[in-house]
Structures are given as structure tokens and as C-alpha cells.
Homo-oligomer: A and B are copies of this chain.
């Protein structure tokens, strides 16, 4: 009987919780109302179909002044430089080591690929994991001086938890590297490695001194951006999401694919409009450009979050300016 009483008591918090706001960092504006209305409707959808996909950079965490993974790569170049004296005279490394990121990037896509491959390949997946974990533990964001894992959007953390509490399986579908994101996604977002989809390099299984290892090769395998996002979803999930969340034109095809399914659907763009508390950018930004997405959101009635007016709080620690 005691067991029964304990169980009965367990019912009380849930009653209390029902009265608690699951999205306290969201203002009571249209986006929050649309989310809550959709989640209520989704209760009628079989649980296994409640798949929600989230972009990462600019949707779950910030992406300014540069993609954080690229800042990781730049730090790695510096850390690896002592073993590579030849980089002094070799671009794009020479410019990077002089601190001139702009000059390095001005050399175009090939330079970026060189930087990424040099820092993300030629090691086992376990070694790479450790490198990323060490970096995340010590590196600080150049503007806020906060750990990168704190540069996440509090309203989106609440949204992830709210969806999961309502039977959704939450996935990350990002242009970022899958092995980079998996190092922190479970702890920071509650999204396990097997629910993280991203860009990736080729891998090779081999025996080293009688021990099996998986090595990261310096060759692109899959780019999980634009048309790649619905393809990545099909490859890894094999089921069309019923809800998708992004912030840039790179997410447009994911939202199109999600929105075109039958039954209740939910598509949302986060619009970066708050220069003081976060950053303000869209059409002309070299990072996270959002143009066609806004046009299509309007035409199709998708939800657009105006960060400035729809979010009460941006980061768990507050706002960018407060941190400085």
C-alpha cells in the first residue's frame, strides 16, 4: 500500500506542472501561441511520427562572429602550428598564423576546405572527440567570453524539452560536422548522438596493432545543407518530420520537405533581429543568410520568431551586452 501512496503522490507534481509555463522565456506573442496550439494538436498523431528536426548554428546556438566550429578549427591550426613549421610560408595557414582570418578566408572555398580537413581528419574518431571536448572545456567566445556551450538559446532549450515532454523525438539536422556536434549535443540539448545528423567526412575502419580503429579521412562524404538536409533526414531517419526549425536559407528545403507532408505540420524560422542582446542579420549576412526563407514563410504561413520581440531571454546567462 505504501507503494501505491508514493505513486499517488507522483501525480501531484504533474498537476502542478500543467499550470506551469513550459516556455517561460518566450513572450506571449504569436510564435509561442502557434507552438502550443501545434503541440496540442500533435497529441492526436501516433507517437512514432512525432519527429522534430532542428538546425544547430543560429537556431540552437549562436553563429556569430563566425561558425563556432570554424573558430575551433582556427584554434586547432594554432595548436598544431609548432609541428608544422612549413605553414609559415603556406596559405591559408600563413595568414591565419599572422591572425589575419579575413585574408585566409578571402582565398575561397578551397582554403576553408584545407583548414577544415587539416583539423578534422588524419586521426581516429575517438581522438577527434577528445580534442573537441578539451576545446569546449577551455575555449571562450570572443565577444561574450563565455564557454561556447553557454551560447545556446534558452527559449530553444525550453522548446526542445517541451516537445520531448509531449512525446516528440528531437533531432539535430545541421550543416555543422556531425562528430563535432555529438560531443556536446547530449549534455547541452538532451539530444543523443544517434539523433544528430550533420556534414561528414569519409571514415575508414582499420586494424592498428591488432586494435580496431575508425579513422577520419580528409575527404568530404556528405554536406548536410540546403537540398542536403531533407536528404540527410531521409538517410538517417527515414521518416518525414512533422516539425522543423531553422534560421537560414540553408534550412529552407528541410522546412519545405517537412511542411509538404499531410496532416498537422509546423515550420519555424528564427529571425535574428536583436543587435543588443544577440546579433541582427538576415539577407546580406555572409553567415546564416535568410532571404528566400522569409518570403516562403510569409507565403506558406510558417512561424517566424522575431528574437527581439518574441524572446524574453536569449542566453541562459542573459544577453550578449550584459556579458561584456
Contact surface of A with B, Cβ cutoff 8 Å: 1, 3-5, 7-8, 11, 48, 51, 125, 169, 178-179, 182, 186, 192-196, 200, 203-207, 211-212, 214, 221, 227-228, 230-231, 234-239, 253, 256-257, 260
Contact = CB atoms under 8 A, between A and B. Distances in A.
- Which of the listed residues A193, A196, A257 has the most CB atoms from chain B within 10 Å of its own CB? A193
Contact of A125 (B178, B227, B234, B260): B234
A306 to B, nearest CB: 27
Contacts of A212: 230, 253, 256-257, 260
15 contacts: A4-B8, A7-B8, A48-B186, A48-B192, A178-B235, A182-B238, A193-B238, A194-B194, A194-B238, A194-B239, A204-B227, A205-B231, A207-B256, A214-B231, A214-B234
A205 B182 contact: no
A182, A195, A227, A238: most-surrounded residue (chain B CB, <10 A):
A238
A200 B230 CA distance: 15
Given A205-B257, A212-B257, A193 B237 contact: yes
Complex A-B, nearest 6 residue pairs according to Cβ-Cβ distance, in ascending order: A193-B238, A4-B8, A205-B227, A7-B7, A4-B4, A194-B237
A179 B228 CA distance: 18
A236 B198 CA distance: 10
Most chain B CB inside 10 Å of its own CB: which residue of A5, A205, A214: A205
Contacts of A239: 192-194
Nearest to A214: B234
Contacts of A7: 4, 7-8
B196 A238 contact: yes
Nearest to A10: B7
A250 to B, nearest CB: 13
